[in-house]
Each structure stands twice: as C-alpha cells, then as structure tokens.
Structure 1
Amino acid sequence: MDAARQILSERGLRALTLDEVARRSFFARSSIYVHFAGKPGLVEGLVVRCIEDLAVCADLFCSGSDSPSARLHRALLGVGEILVRDDAVITSATRLVAEDPIFAARFWPSVAAMLDALAARVVEDQIAGLARTDLPARVAIDALVPVLTSLRPSSRLYKPRLPLRVSSALIAKLSTNALYREPSVLESAPAVTRPTVSRRTP
C-alpha cells in the first residue's frame, strides 16, 4: 500500500497500475492481483487505511477524560498528519466517486459511524455543561469537516510555511471556541480571561 500511495503522490491516479505497484513493492504480480481488483481496489484499500487511522484520532477525542481543548488538540494533530500523508489518496478517491458514486458506498458507513461517535461525545459534553447547547452536535461536527481540508497540501487554504502542529493547534483552538463556549459567556467574560493563543506568533 505504501508503494501505491507513493505513486499517487508522485504521478497521480493515471499512473497507478497493479504492475507498477508490483514493481515498486517487490511483491509478485499474482499476489497483488489476488488482493486488489484493479485501480479502484488499490485506492479503496488506501482509503480504508486512511479512515482507520482517522478513527484512531477520533477516539482520542471521544474517549479522553481531560479538557475538550486538550482532546481536540491531540486528535487534530494526528488528523493533520494523516491528511498530509494521504492528500493524493483523497484526491484520487474523489475522482473515482465522481465517476462511480457506488465507490463511496463501500466505505461511507465507516465515515458516518466515526462522525456519529464524535457527535455523541459532544452531546455528552453538552449534558455535562461543557459544550454550548444552541448548536446541534452533529451540525457542529459536520461543519468542522470542511475546515480540516485546509490541512491538506492541495487545499487553496493550505499554509506551507506554517508548521503542521501550529495549523492543527489553531484549528483546535477555533473549534474549541466554536463548540465549547456559549456566546453569553464570551460576551460577559473579563478581557483577561479570553484566550490569546491565536494571536501569538508561532
């Protein structure tokens, strides 16, 4: 799979073939043909691995017992690393979905389950009085997903000169403010208690 990811990153979807993967990975072509049904099968395998790794990061947020901001920071740092690593994979998968919508159906249930788990944790935090209650949890999670695309190198919002850890920390801070601070609390809080992390120079 590493060979397939490397081909996508270097030359794009058109150059991805089972023969090329076999040549780079030093596996027998027959072995690769048995496990993958052509180009879509290779991309699907990479997408599944990407989702599995993202799920591990999501669990850092869902199962953590410390503060919401700490959970978000840890989770999003891992998410950022995965999105950088699999940027070409996501781009290729998007193209395949455009050609064959059924392609997404193979892994969408896993994505939906991950988003549901994240939303469920936000609901728990709402019940505990930690998260704002004027925004439905699933709506908040769905709104966060497009923001994360700024961590992908192919995104127009990507900041190549900004270290990944800084970009992830900024998104975590913005997300914490959006999900876990009631507007009324922000308006009434003394200026000295308001977060200043986003104004610091990395």
Structure 2
Amino acid sequence: MALPSLTDQAERLVRLGVHDLAGIPAAGLHELAAAAPPDSLLVTPAPASGLAPLLRLGDKAGFVVEDMTDVDAFAPTVEVPPTPHVVVGLDRGDAFANRTPEESVPEIVAAGRSPLTLAEGLHWVLQDPGVLERNACFMTPGSRLRRSNGTYDARTPALWISNGTGRDGRERQHAPKLGWCWWGNRHTWLGIASCERRTHP
C-alpha cells in the first residue's frame, strides 16, 4: 500500500477541490508537498462530510452513514500540528483486528505511535483507495465526539466497504463508507489505524 508521490497527492487534492473545502490556497498544498518528507501523507482541514463523497472504489462514490450527521463534530483527541500537515508511518492496524479501540489505543501510545484521526484516514483512502479491502478496513480512534458534559460519545469513526444492505441501499454496494463502531466493541474486519508521527514542514 504505497502512497502516491507528494506532488501527485497535492495535484489530486487540488483537482478534487479539497483546498477549497479546506479554505486554503492551492499553492499552499504544493509548497507543503515540496517540503514534506518522502512517503508521507498530506492532510488538510477539509470537513469529513465534504471529503467522504470524494472517495472512490471503482465507480462507487463514498458516503457518510445516515446516523452520523454530526460527523464534522468529531475532533482530534491527539495533538495535531497546524493544518495542512503531513503524516508519516501509516499503519492500518491489522494487528489490532478483533480488538476494541479502548484496549488498543493505550498499546499504540505505549509503543510511541499515535491513533489516526478521521481526517487523516479520509485523506489516506482518498490517495490510496486500495487501503480499504474486504475484511481489512480500519477505525480512526484519534477523533471522537466530546459531549457537553465533557465525556466522550462511544462512537468511533471507521472506514470500510459497504455491503449495500439496510439503510446503505443496494446502489451503494462496494462503496467506501464512513461510519462508526462502539469504543468498546470488537470487529474482526476492522483494524485500529495509527501513525508514527505528524509534522508541519
């Protein structure tokens, strides 16, 4: 699962209008690409609700599940540099499949890594759709929704491939899907994604 070159990443984001969604100049993305370390991922502050429909698997467009209308309120729980930024050392977290985010995140942090945010996961799939595979997709536990009382909502954002059942609709079968899973639940087909580090060159 190799990322496109940084130049190609910047060009793709601009071609899709992600810089407009993020409210940043196209030149800024190209400058960041020129200064970023190799094999890193460009990440913008574009909202998840705007990025999800840009995802593609074959001819299928991405979508947000119907019961996650508050998706843009899921914010990083980890320290993130000024955006746009770059992410180094991506890992889909296959080793944590069938583990809960609650169990896995402390181990990820103890290993010197950081749980991936939803924005980072979306940009990853946008640049490398092949990172989503049947029975091998991932959660992004670095983003959560904080309630008004200060506690976290138990939903954990996740990216996977729709089966076209239920409210997804048959027309969305095989489409990239932005949904959620419970913080304390296990799923054999969802890893717990992380990265080595983030930087703002």
User: Is the pair's TM-score, using the shorter chain for normalization, greater than 0.5?
Assistant: no
The structure with more helix, counted as a fraction of residues: 1
TM-score (norm 1): 0.22
The structure with more strand, counted as a fraction of residues: 2
TM-score (norm 2): 0.22
